[in-house]
Structure 1
Amino acid sequence: SQNKILKTLNQSIYFAEMQVRKQNTQALVLNFSHP
């Protein structure tokens, strides 16, 4: 059903955003520790 597709899509977007946030956090930490 279309609902299942939407749910899967939302999960994929959620995980992608988590990855991006993790990378952004690591980049910030690197910037602070190596000015």
Structure 2
Amino acid sequence: MARYPGRKPERYNRGLAERCLRYARRIIEWVKEEAAKS
């Protein structure tokens, strides 16, 4: 993964991880709803 100059990797990685978790939770909820329908 590219490291941008002037940015702290740990802050960048933390923000990215939080965003990934948010999307993951949204996908899990969607999967549960789809499973309940079928």
Give the structure-2-normalised TM-score: 0.65
Gaps of 5+ in 2: 1-7
Over 2 Å off, 4+ runs: none
The answer to which structure has the higher helix fraction is 1
Over the aligned positions, Cα root-mean-square deviation in angstroms equals: 0.9
Shift of 1:9: 0.4
Give the structure-1-normalised TM-score: 0.69
Pairs aligned (count) = 30
